[in-house]
Structures are given as C-alpha cells and as structure tokens.
Homo-oligomer: A and B are copies of this chain.
C-alpha cells in the first residue's frame, strides 16, 4: 500500500540507491561466515573493564551533567585532551579548533553540507573511502579520481586536477581504507604546497594514524601544512588549509560514536551551527566516559595492545596468502591500519567471486564501489583486524580455494 509520503520525497532522495556498506554489514551478521568484509575492530581489544570503571565513576561524580543536554561543540575537557594529543603529533591547536562529532561519518556529512553545491568537483584517491562518497553523493558531488599506488595519491596527476577547480581534496594518508596504502612524506609535502598554490583546501581523514605496525610515523598533512605556514610552529590557533578528522572508534570503541574535527575556528563555528540543527550535540554521557577512560594516559598503553593484536593478524594473513593464493593475484602489504587490497587479473570480476565465496562462508568487499568513476571490478578489500588468527587461517584457505576456481573458470563465477 502506498502512503502519501511516497509521492513527496525531495529530488535529492528520489534516486537514492540501496547502501552497499549496509548490505555488507548484514553479511557479517551471519553467524557462520568468516567475514573480511566489515571494517570492524577486534572486540577482544575493547577495554570493557575500563569502561565499567569509567561509567561508574562518571555517574557517581558527574551523573547530572553527563545525563543532561550539553553544548554542541562538545565536552570541554575532552576537547582539551584532544588538543594535547594533537600537539604531541605536531599540530598546535586550541579547543576552538575542535568539534566533537557522532563518528567521523557525521563529520563527512557536515563537510558535504557546508561546502558542496550540486555539481561541485571533489578530488579523491582512486580507490577511496566509500562512506565519504555516500555522504557527499547526497549533496550532488562529482569526483575527480586521482590514481594511486602503494605510496598513495600520485601527485603528478593532482596538479592537472586542481586546474579543474575542485571544491576540496579528500585524502586518507595513513593505511588507507580501502587500499592500505600510505602517502609518502615527499608526496605529503608536495600535496601541501600544490594545495596552497591553487588555493584548494584539503580534508585529511585519519582514523588509523596510530595503528602503525612497521616503519616510522609520518607527520600528518595538517602538521606539514601548519609548519609550512608558521616556520617556527608558534602560530597559535590553527588557521590553515586542512580540515583534519580522527576518531575514538579505532582506539577505544566504535559503539560510542565519538570522533573529532580539527579545523580553523571560523570553520568550526559553521560546523557547530550545522550540528546544532542536525542533532544538537553528541551524547554527553559518552563524551564523559571517553574522557574518564582516556584522561590518565590509558590510550597510549591501550594502543600498544591494539597494534600487537592487529600486527599479528596482518602477518598471519599475509603469510598464508603468500602460501595459498594463486600467483596471478596481487595484494598490498600495508604498514598499519585494518585493510589490505587484492588485485585480480583484469578479466576477473570480484563481485562474482564474492558470490561463490559467500557459499564457502567467507566474505570480502568487491572493490568497484570504492571507485566513484568506474573501474576496479577486479579489486577486493580484505579486513584483517576483526577475525582472530584461527579464523583468518580458515578464511584465507577458503578464499584461496574460491580464487583458484575463479581463475580456472575465467570470469570469476
């Protein structure tokens, strides 16, 4: 039965398709499947005991405040904790530079709302994060895809794109979702200079920056931009070219929906007005709890546990792929994060491979959806953070079998 509502959707909604990420999350809920599809942290590393203590403490000490409405900007002690954290990584910011959001997805949505007019071009890596495309499609964005390799976005292609007049550049410099690639220091420096030269700002999305298992930390694009602007880095409030996003989802727990934006204060003020109209503020309780868990320096210790856990899982996965995967398949060896990227021979369709894989009770994400301008049908995103080593072994064996069959049959089915 039709309701009057159905004749009343706004034009921006009428062509809304089904959501790929959402269907994927459903796949991972089948209890007997080994899923490399989601982007889920390992539940084994959630600091449940610390949360319990923090909830008790917050409710005992600040119950009335933690359960009440609060300001849109976010809980001040939490924002101040984030400024200290950021400063250690080289970006001098004050609480005026920070907005707490309900997950980074909300920050991406607000950026779309604030900056994207229908038809605007956004520069993205190819492949790029699907959640950003979903958020910005709603505002009528178009994309200029820049090819990338294991060192991230290829800068020679960027300059050409900047002459088209894009609204901003979107980049995930560390252990990118989906490809696992990391933007090299040299390319980061070139990015900062090119962006400044053409007057095109940058959105830097950095959920995994601290999840590095090998190699040296590379300064964030925001840090480099900041140094480029203030030679001696004593410029005070950050007023540069970069909007920087990060999150507690990978360090603490995604179920809290807690993330943050660092931006020039003028932009933060507009974001605050946007958030005011969108959901008033992020849960006061969760902000209090995250502050309570993090304030004593716990996160620094905890991130070591996460790193050790994920490094082991990555290594188990890579080792077994080396051993079992057909020689025609290639994959990245990410230095951190949660994903690696598989590349099948050109003629093989990863979506067809997935259909068979699901029958064998193993799942991944076909890569086509991460390419806003088409291509990548022969690619796949494989998560290594969620499954324990035993399941990784079993799942990779199943996947190897599926791939061998697919390559024999030609088209992937």
- Residues 164-207 of A, flagged 1 when their CB comes within 8 A of B and 0 if not, give 00011000000000000000000000000000000111000000
The B-contacting residues of A in range 1-50, CB under 8 angstroms, are 1, 3-6, 8-13, 16, 18-19, 21-22, 25-26, 29, 38-41, 43-44, 46, 48
Give min CB distance, A310 to chain B, whole Å. Answer: 16
- The verdict on A70 contacting chain B, using a C-beta distance below 8 Å, is yes
Contact partner of A51 (CB less than 8 A), chosen from B6, B59, B70, is B59
Instruction: Report the separation of the CA atoms of residues A135 and B138 in the bound assembly, to the nearest whole angstrom.
Output: 16
A114-B10, A283-B257 given; A5·B263 CB < 8 A: yes
- Residues 84-105 of A, flagged 1 when their CB comes within 8 A of B and 0 if not, give 0000000000000000011101
A105-B278, A255-B66 given; A3·B239 CB < 8 A: yes
Instruction: Report the separation of the CA atoms of residues A243 and B167 in the bound assembly, to the nearest whole angstrom.
Output: 36
The quantity of this chain's copies bound in the complex is 2
Contact in complex: A276, B3 (CB < 8 Å): no
Contact in complex: B69, A201 (CB < 8 Å): no
- The verdict on A266 contacting chain B, using a C-beta distance below 8 Å, is yes
Contact in complex: A63, B51 (CB < 8 Å): yes
Instruction: Report the separation of the CA atoms of residues A21 and B64 in the bound assembly, to the nearest whole angstrom.
Output: 21
- The verdict on A264 contacting chain B, using a C-beta distance below 8 Å, is yes
The B-contacting residues of A in range 106-132, CB under 8 angstroms, are 106, 109, 113-117, 120, 131
Find chain B residues with CB under 8 A from A131 CB. 277, 280
Contact in complex: A67, B55 (CB < 8 Å): no
A270-B16, A285-B255 given; A135·B278 CB < 8 A: yes
Contact in complex: B276, A257 (CB < 8 Å): no
Contact in complex: B277, A138 (CB < 8 Å): yes
- The verdict on A281 contacting chain B, using a C-beta distance below 8 Å, is yes
Instruction: Report the separation of the CA atoms of residues A1 and B71 in the bound assembly, to the nearest whole angstrom.
Output: 26
Instruction: Report the separation of the CA atoms of residues A43 and B62 in the bound assembly, to the nearest whole angstrom.
Output: 11
- Residues 277-289 of A, flagged 1 when their CB comes within 8 A of B and 0 if not, give 1111111111000
Contact in complex: A114, B9 (CB < 8 Å): yes
Instruction: Report the separation of the CA atoms of residues A16 and B113 in the bound assembly, to the nearest whole angstrom.
Output: 12
Contact in complex: B283, A255 (CB < 8 Å): yes
Name 6 A/B residue pairs within 8 A (Cβ), A-sorted: A3-B240, A4-B200, A5-B264, A46-B68, A56-B56, A257-B283
Query: What are the 6 A-B residue pairs with the smallest beta carbon separation, nearest first?
Result: A43-B64, A255-B284, A67-B253, A55-B55, A48-B63, A67-B255
